[in-house]
Amino acid sequence: MGKPTGFLEYDRHVNPSQSPAQRVKHWNEFHPPLDLAQRQKQAARCMDCGVPFCQSGIALGGGFTGCPLHNMAPEWNDLIYHGNFEEAYKRLRKTNNFPEFTGRVCPALCEAACTCGLHGDPVTVRENELFVVEKAYEAGIVKPQPPTVRTGKRVAIVGSGPAGLAAADQLNRRGHTVTVFERADRVGGLLMYGIPNMKLEKSVIDRRIRIMQDEGVAFKTGADVGRDVPAGGLTSVFDAVILCCGAKNPRDLKVPGREAKGVHFAVDYLTAATRSLLDPGRKSGEISAKDKRVVVVGGGDTGNDCVGTAIRQGCAGVTQLEMMPRPPEKRADSNPWPEWPRVEKTDYGQQEAIALFGHDPRLYQRTVKEIVADENGAVSQIVTVSLTPRQENGRTVMVPVEGSEERLPCELLLIAAGFVGAESYIAESFGVETDARGSIAAPVGYRTSDPKIFAAGDARRGQSLVVHAIAEGRGAAMEVDKFLMGYTNLI
């Protein structure tokens, strides 16, 4: 422990944030870092406690707590405090392939389990992590390190999201020859097109991809495996295949009027917004909220991203519908530390809506009952209905309240209600089994029903977090390495 009394002497301070009025005028990240002295004080708050729950990565209380990658946060917090930034990066890189991604978009499961959070404020683990990796880039420490020996084994990875990239990085380090197939025009999967630029600038992804290419990883974009690229072509050429194609079947609204124009899935909307930013002047597939009254169905991170995106596009107003009751402001007695805190979080998009429109955009315990179209077939209103919790067969379900219908004006309706599994054509093209949730079945050792084909990330576990996807990619890489070599030295 660098400073035994650090947690007593220093208060938690996070990176500052541009005001909502400033940041909604651009699409860039808006959290400038703390200065070096302040960051080292934040690292000094880490207690190096005897049981560091921050790196536990365990299921607890119906949720997940601690880092799924088992990041050695106490070690690199100590190194930050002592100014040994190169060694801090080396310790961080042992467990996390892409701290520049998780340092920006992870909800910080580590901080929820931090011992300092038991009776106070947790350590700023995520921001410390981001500091370490950006300091390493700045100092030229992050550079290509291609393997000195190649094994002669070839691995195909379908999908270039965080799971696919992590698997590719690990297997390439081992000396296998890796090719990543991505159906989109750019590498990154949902990192590229599912997360808005103000949360993760796309230059951050491109920077890492260039390093991976220089290390020997091959990327093929515009390659839709199972359609344009036959699955059999991969299994005949490559020694192993990993399916990291995500859980991209969006949950739909099955209500009257669903066919109206102006109703879109959140992932399509966010993809279109990022494409228009990366390719100025592009009109094909454009979806804009400009001057429209927007309703977002879904209260999670993706719904919040839709709110922030709509505001930057110049919407006339935005409402976010959440089926579940409003969470408490503080942990309930039934939700003790170190469980993930099930409390209300007002995220950046909601903060911006409050600042611009004067009220919280969220309506709790409410959903869409009907979509009303105008004479041109475009959505003009939605009919909402209140929901109330009821116990059925030992679980809580939300049921409509009779007579609670209300109409809301709406010219753009965005469905951010989550996903229900991988797209079926991937599994069908490879002839592998799926489970009851629509995910690719790979319950043991990331292996599918075909011993040569593996699955990882959202395609295997269902919709989840970037940090879980990276952990899945690393786990699958270990199993593939064992399959190819009879043993593995990957961790």
Task: Estimate the crossing angle of helix 73-81 against helix 36-44, to 10 degrees.
Answer: 140
Last residue of a domain, one of 103, 138, 173: 138
CATH code (residue 187) = 3.50.50.60
Q: Which amino acid is at 373?
A: A
Stretch (H or E) spanning 81: helix 73-81
Q: pLDDT tens digits for 270-313? A: 999 999 999 987 776 789 999 999 999 999 999 999 999 999 99
The reported pLDDT for the residue numbered 50 is 86
Q: Given 138, 162, 185, which residue is the final one in a domain?
A: 138
Q: What type of residue sits at position 384? A: T
Confidence (pTM): 0.96
Cα–Cα distances in Å, from 422 out to 189, 235, 244, 245, 435?
A: 14, 20, 10, 7, 10
User: Does 238 share its domain with 351?
Assistant: no
Burial of 392 (0-12, 13-18, 19+ CB in 10 A): exposed
**What is the model's pLDDT at position 51?**
86
Residues 106, 194, single domain; the answer is no
Indicate if 299 and 407 belong to the same structural domain.
yes
CATH number at residue 32: 1.10.1060.10
**What are the pLDDT tens digits along the chain (491 aa)?**
778 999 999 999 999 999 999 999 999 999 999 999 999 999 999 998 988 999 999 999 889 999 999 999 999 999 999 999 999 999 999 999 999 999 999 999 999 999 999 999 999 999 999 999 999 999 999 999 999 999 999 999 999 999 999 999 999 999 999 999 999 999 999 999 999 999 999 999 999 999 999 999 999 999 999 999 999 999 999 999 999 999 999 999 999 999 999 999 999 999 999 999 999 877 767 899 999 999 999 999 999 999 999 999 999 999 999 999 999 999 999 999 999 999 999 999 999 999 999 999 999 999 999 999 999 999 999 999 999 999 988 888 999 999 999 999 999 999 999 998 999 999 999 999 999 999 999 999 999 999 999 999 999 999 999 999 999 999 999 999 999 999 999 98
Domain's final residue, options 372, 393, 415:
415
Which residues are CB-contacts of 210 (< 8 A; sequence separation ≥ 6)? none
Task: Tell me, yes or no, whether 239 and 381 share the same domain.
Answer: no
Distance, CA of 257 to CA of 253 (rounded, Å): 10
Q: At what angle do helices 466-485 and 162-174 cross, to 10 degrees?
A: 30
Q: Tell me, yes or no, whether 257 lies in a domain.
A: no
First to last CA, the chain: 25
Q: How far apart are CA 460 and CA 447, in angstroms?
A: 10
Domain-embedded: residue 147: no
DSSP-derived letter for residue 398 is E
Query: How many domains does one find in the chain?
Result: 3
Which structural domain range is residue 473 located in? Answer: 154-248+420-485
